[in-house]
Structure 1
Amino acid sequence: MEQGKSFWKRAYAGVAMLSMALIAGCDRGGGGEGSNSNSSSNGSSKAPKLAFVAGGANEFWKIAAAGVHKYEQEAKIQIDIKAPPNSTPEEQNRILESIVSEGYDAVAVSVLAPDAQVPVLNKLAEKAPLITMDSDSPNSNRLFYVGTNNYEAGKVLGNEIVKILPNGGKMAVFVGTFAVDNAAQRFKGIQDVVTAHNIQIVDKREDNVDRAKARSNVEDILNAHPDLNVATGLWSYNGPAIIAAVEALGKKGKVIPAVFDEEDATLSGIENGTVACTVVQKPFQFGYLASKWLHELATKGDAARAAIPPSKTIDTGVEVITKENVAAFKARLAEQKK
């Protein structure tokens, strides 16, 4: 699904701390002031300065960036995409602190530590309209959240696990950290469903976004629990880590991965029968809708704020991908990323 290095070269230009190469669809120059002269509703010819702060730099966020770029093309504006290279709150805080001083007109953030980052988020919200996407910080002064209802998404995956283990069984759960809101809510949703069906969660492990540890965690659990039935990954890279461990230890068909998100290896695992299912979010919609709201908040002010839903949540929904629909999903995904 690689589309060329130039896509992410544009997205990350002007962010010196982020030297990684990520994929995007066009190269129109770097961050800072938008180069397009887009008139706002108040008649100003100055382009709004908007920032989309991702939670990382994996395939999931490449898809979200495609949604950002789709809106950019439609609205003829530029949005600066920024991301912490190692998905740590410390890195993200440095990005947010920089944004505070750089005069942005509206900002969207996938929050990595919902409670710990409230002070820096509130400082940012004093300077510009702030929304969250993908991972919320409901105790902050953000205006609203765009993304998945992660508790309900967890319940969806929980119901798929019940289909895999209709007579009960044992499972383990893996993630970067349970401290992030989306991970905690997904886990709770899964737990609330499976425990009512005699399915025991025998262990859960954090890897702190260390890809090698993500795999070794799975290997450790598979060795410690030879009767394990299902391995669940809550973040996108956990799926490929589980697949690699299951295949390396000769557990294919014995331990069934049931995971989240649409990493290439996860979709391939569904095609070859290693993975039962993945619950995918709609990161393209995260990017597109967050960008649209940023633009309107920056240019329409109170009128845009008046349109915020009373729930302060825009739920983009989820989809279950299995062997029956994976080919169609991959084709649709490729089209979105063009």
Structure 2
Amino acid sequence: MKFGKIIAAGVLAASLAMPAASFAADKPVVGLVMKSLANEFFKNMLEGAKAHEAKRGDYKLKAVGMQSETDIETQINAVESFITEKVNAIVIAPADSRALVPPLKRAMEAGITVVNFDVALDEKAKKEAGVELAFVGPDNRAGAKMAGEALAKKLGEGGKVVIIEGNPGADNAAQRKLGFEDAIKDGKLKLLDSRTAHWETEEANSVFANMLTAHPDIQGVMAANDSMAVGVVKAIEAAGKTGKIEVIGFDNIPAVQPLLKEKKMLATVDQFGQQMAANAIDKALGVLAVGAPLKGWVKTDIKLVTSDDVK
């Protein structure tokens, strides 16, 4: 089942899938492990998952969120707890693409279906763990390049830009940085600096303020998510440079809608986040029902969003 217009989910089927008879006998329990609930993207995701649970009515949802984007231990502990509780499926947006592979392998060995969405697990880590896992989700590199191209078109050749990176341990952060770099190369922009702000608004505000001090001639900012883009916009306003520096982001969270409308941001990329966990849960329930894993990479939709798309 495809639940609305979706963007990301990675599916890992347990090596010992739950039999169809067990699925039919009782409501399966799905453990949802998200990243920071301080991030509006994941707040919306949780709302979407709760609405999905109520709409389907054929499974029980248990949701866990992190305190911050770097709170990896909370995710690991959540997986371990769900293994102990013997949930039927774990649906997870990993904060670290390598660190979560071992606990997820243990879950799979315990007969739990694991769905990895939003951020792909590291291919090398999966190979080292001896597991073959599918991925259903967006091409983050292509999405970032799409936003970067909009910035390159706006600035023209020689435009001076910086990158605000996501969590270095996350695959989507790495892919988005690569996409930005692709756009910089193709658009013949000049990259002045690139630093991580770990997906966080306040950290991005501080990081960009320091960048601006070092490079007062910055013309454009490529933020790997919208939460960081919001922090960048605040720093631009504090420096009295509103309208002089273009900003792009990724996620299309509600907080950036007014920024796009007021031309404080140039563009973002929509991942349809509110439907993301719901779709991943559908995939997990589907695997439980048929007892067969999904394979390969199923690419899902992304969309460039500019002020023209904001009502």
Cα distance between partner residues in 2 of 1:210 and 1:193: 23
- In structure 2, what is the equivalent of residue 56 of structure 1? 36
Q: Residue 113 of structure 1 corresponds to which residue in structure 2?
A: 96
Change (3 A) 1:265 1:69: closer
Q: Percent identity of the aligned residues?
A: 24
Residue 315 (structure 1) aligns with: 299
The correspondence for 1:235, drawn from 214, 225, 229, is: 225
CA distance 1:155–1:43, shift in 2 (3 Å): closer
Q: How many residues align?
A: 282
List alignment gaps of at least 5 residues for structure 1: 1-39, 328-338
Partner SS state of residue 324, structure 1: helix
CA contact (8 A) 2:23 2:288 kept: no
Gaps of 5+ in 2: 1-19
* Greater relative contact order (Cα < 8 A, sep 6+): 2
| 8 Å Cα contact 1:130/1:142 also seen in 2 | no
Structure 1: how far apart are the matches of 2:307 and 2:80?
44
CA RMSD of superposed structures (Å): 2.0
1:288 aligns with 2:272: no
Q: Tell me, yes or no, if the aligned pair for 1:239 and 1:263 is still in contact at 8 Å.
A: no
Equivalent residues of 2:167, 2:196 under 8 A apart: yes
Distance 2:266 2:23 in 1: 54
Q: Is the 8 A contact 1:170 1:228 kept in 2?
A: yes
Secondary structure at the counterpart of residue 123 of structure 1: helix
Structure 2 contact 137–300 (Cα < 8 Å) conserved: yes
**How far did 1:146 drift?**
3.2
Residue 106 of structure 2 corresponds to which residue in structure 1? 123
The residue that corresponds to 1:104 in the other structure is 87
- CA distance in 2 between counterparts of 1:256 and 1:109 reads 33
Deviations 1:194-236 (A, max 9, x none): 2122212211122345543221111111121111110121123
Q: Secondary structure of the residue that 1:250 maps to in structure 2?
A: coil
CA–CA distance in structure 2, aligned partners of residues 236 and 196 of structure 1: 23
Alignment-mate amino acid for residue 94 of structure 1: N
Residue-by-residue CA offset, 1:56-110 (whole Å, 9 max, x unaligned): 2121112222332343233213222211121221221111121121101111111
Structure 1 window deviating more from structure 2 (201-210 vs 157-166): it is 201-210
| 1:79 corresponds to | 61
In 1: Cα distance, 2:138 partner to 2:272 partner: 8
One-letter code aligned to 2:116: T
Is the Cα–Cα contact under 8 Å of residues 152 and 159 in structure 2 kept in the other structure? no
How far has the Cα of 1:276 moved from its partner? 0.8
Is the CA contact 1:282–1:316 (under 8 Å) kept in the aligned structure 2?
no
The residue identity in structure 2 corresponding to 1:85 is Q
One-letter amino acid of the counterpart of residue 64, structure 1? M
CA contact (8 A) 1:125 1:142 kept: no
Match of 2:12 in 1: none
Does structure 1 conserve the Cα–Cα contact (< 8 Å) formed by 2:116 and 2:135? Answer: yes
Matched with 2:146 is 156
Q: 1:105 to 1:242 in 2, by over 3 A?
A: same
Name 2:17's counterpart in structure 1: none
Is residue 146–residue 289 contact of structure 1 (8 Å, CA) maintained in 2? Answer: no
| AA at the equivalent of 1:136 | A
- The answer to whether 1:93 aligns with 2:73 is no
Change (3 A) 1:43 1:192: closer
Within 1, Cα distance between the matches of 2:275 and 2:137? 8
Change (3 A) 1:219 1:43: closer
Segment drifting more, 270-279 vs 59-68: 59-68
Distance 1:314 1:288 in 2: 16
Q: How does 1:252-331 map to 2 (within 5 A)?
A: 252-302=242-292, 305=293, 308=294, 310-311=295-296, 313-327=297-311
1:275 Cα offset (Å): 0.9
Which residue matches 1:4? none
The amino acid of 2:272's aligned partner reads K
In the alignment, residue 235 of structure 2 is paired with which amino acid? A
Q: Secondary structure at the match of 2:276?
A: helix
